[in-house]
Structure 1
Amino acid sequence: MRILFIGDVVGNKGMKMIRDYVPALKQEYRPQVTIANGENSTPMGRGINLSGYKEMMSSGVDVVTLGNHAWSNPEINDFIDDSKRLIRPYNFPGENVPGTGYTIMNVNGFRLAVLNFQGRVFLDNLDDPFREATELVKSLQSEADAFFVDFHAEATSEKLAFAKYMSGEVSAVVGTHTHVQTNDARIINGKTAFLTDAGMTGPADGMLGMQEKSVIERFLNQRPARYKVDEDSRGIICGCIIDIDEKTGNATKIEPVKQMENGLF
């Protein structure tokens, strides 16, 4: 099985890159499942709305994952329970959390479980993702042949620790949230594909998708600043391709993907 994963989709430019590039990437790489992190896909660059979710699905995305901005757009509460291919971090605490933290895709009899977890270092203190992931994977063993994890976290150490901890239990752990694609794609112990961060899909010339002026001013004066999505930037689409052996459920290949709208940086 081949998976195409697309990193954090940011704002209108990110949605344009999904529309314009996902069909071409699918034609080039021929994935059986395409996953995208959509937690920043609204025009304001925070949260997700129903129109954006539907547009990603119509552009060829099969599953949309989220992260710490899952609830930033209140509209999500109106549609997350009915959107079976939209998943939020499984380890949000409490009972009756809207939505679900995983979904299972059946592709020609091969069952891929797509899981979403959020780290806790420098982010909100959710339930322990290590323990929650162990229990969830164990409970789904009879329902899935392979497991893909979008691990949404800030600290690189936490992402790698999670991947090593889950090595052999899941087929792939791909990090999201920091919006910068890392250069460390590998297969841990010959079983679990790992990439610290898949990168961002959206405005390439700003700062993590935001207009640079307000970000720089924040560093200069240490006062609160309102960040706005950079609408005038060139676009970039980042992610990775992962191959999984359907007999063993182990990853055999992971390859970063990055394309600019108009050539190189």
Structure 2
Amino acid sequence: MSQQLKVLFIGDIVGSPGLSLLETLLPSIISKHNADFVIANAENSHEGMGINEEIIRSLYKLGVHVITGGNHSFAKWKIYPYMKTDPNLLRPLNYPKGAHGFGYGIYDIPGTSQKIGVVNLQGRTYMQTIDDPFRTADWVLEKVKEQTNIIFIDFHAEATAEKMAFGWYVDGRASVMAGTHTHIPTADARILPKGMGYITDVGMTGPYHSVIGMDKETAIKRFLIQTPHKYKMANGDNRICGLVTEIDTETGQCSSIEPVTFPGFETKASS
């Protein structure tokens, strides 16, 4: 019989500001939305770039089932040996053969008889020239469908056009495609004609008094002077940006998709 599965996705976690907020609020957000399965992108969780074992363990304790990544998954070399051992820690599947870690997995959904496939892919426009995510999706989606038709894709990419093109390409073959990497939440969450939930970018979980998580003054100097400046984490106006989706367990199609932002952004000046 058809049931509705609720999947909560947490957008790019940026450094200690994002982690601290999740430690306080994530369990209550999971409870509020009755989430059956939780995925979080954490490639920027360690000092704004990369991840470590302590953070991974902390996220699992908070209720995260699968951690996805992106172009900064390999930023901290000490994580490489661990990446080989934890199938719940993903990095983009379309890195060339020989890269550490796992690019997708099929997981039991706690309290149910259902399984969910989670696929992590990375775009190539203005990013590393890795393997083709479109062709990679062709074979991995067929492989996952041998075990489940519930499939969640984290597509980590710079160009909005590439994200949108990829969304149209996999519509009807995946349940949800959540865009990550640009750290700015987009207002285009919707269900595409063949039943896939889509959003160009979920946004980041971290400090919004920043330039995509970076200290404002340091970022401005980069543009004014056009010379390199050391990355410096920002702090302040910390928010969680995520996505709650409902998926029909029989068809694998998305029945609802809703961005989650807490606290919400102010749209009027305070008096």
Please give the TM-score of this superposition, normalised by the length of structure 2.
Answer: 0.94
Tell me the equivalent position of 1:22.
26
CA distance in structure 1 between the partners assigned to 2:214 and 2:143 by the alignment: 40
Q: Deviations over 1:213-246 (max 9, x none)?
A: 1100111011111121113x12110011011001
Tell me the equivalent position of 1:98.
100
Return the letter of the residue paired with 1:99: G
CA distance in structure 2 between the partners assigned to 1:148 and 1:198 by the alignment: 14
Tell me the equivalent position of 1:62.
65
Shift of 1:190: 4.3
Tell me the equivalent position of 1:83.
86
Q: Pairwise mapping of residues 2-17 of structure 1 onto structure 2 (< 5 A)?
A: 2-17=6-21
CA distance in structure 2 between the partners assigned to 1:190 and 1:71 by the alignment: 35
SS at match of 1:57: helix
Tell me the equivalent position of 1:247.
250
Tell me the equivalent position of 2:158.
154
Return the letter of the residue paired with 1:101: G
SS at match of 2:84: helix
CA distance in structure 2 between the partners assigned to 1:264 and 1:150 by the alignment: 28
CA distance in structure 1 between the partners assigned to 2:131 and 2:148 by the alignment: 23
Shift of 1:76: 1.3
SS at match of 1:82: coil
Q: Are the equivalent residues in 1 in contact too, given 2:10–2:205 (CA < 8 A)?
A: yes
Q: Does 1:207 align with 2:207?
A: no
SS at match of 1:124: coil
Return the letter of the residue paired with 2:17: K
Tell me the equivalent position of 1:115.
119
Pick which of 168-177 and 201-210 moved more. Answer: 201-210
Shift of 1:264: 3.6
Return the letter of the residue paired with 2:156: H
Q: Are the equivalent residues in 2 in contact too, given 1:2–1:30 (CA < 8 A)?
A: yes
Q: Deviations over 1:115-172 (max 9, x none)?
A: 0000000100110000001111112221123110000000001001101000100011
Return the letter of the residue paired with 1:189: P
Return the letter of the residue paired with 2:65: D
- Ranges of 4+ aligned residues in structure 1 off by more than 3 Å: none
Q: Are the equivalent residues in 1 in contact too, given 2:149–2:174 (CA < 8 A)?
A: no
CA distance in structure 1 between the partners assigned to 2:73 and 2:165 by the alignment: 24
CA distance in structure 1 between the partners assigned to 2:213 and 2:26 by the alignment: 19
Shift of 1:201: 0.3
CA distance in structure 2 between the partners assigned to 1:224 and 1:74 by the alignment: 23
Q: Are the equivalent residues in 1 in contact too, given 2:117–2:152 (CA < 8 A)?
A: yes
CA distance in structure 2 between the partners assigned to 1:259 and 1:190 by the alignment: 30
Structure 2 regions of 5+ residues with no counterpart?
Answer: none
Q: CA RMSD in A?
A: 1.2
SS at match of 1:121: coil
Q: Are the equivalent residues in 1 in contact too, given 2:106–2:144 (CA < 8 A)?
A: no
Return the letter of the residue paired with 1:52: I
Please give the TM-score of this superposition, normalised by the length of structure 1.
Answer: 0.96
Tell me the equivalent position of 1:175.
179
Q: Deviations over 1:177-229 (max 9, x none)?
A: 00000000010114100000000001121111111011001110111111211
CA distance in structure 1 between the partners assigned to 2:203 and 2:145 by the alignment: 30
Return the letter of the residue paired with 1:65: T
Q: Are the equivalent residues in 2 in contact too, given 1:159–1:175 (CA < 8 A)?
A: yes
CA distance in structure 2 between the partners assigned to 1:251 and 1:127 by the alignment: 28
CA distance in structure 1 between the partners assigned to 2:218 and 2:263 by the alignment: 24
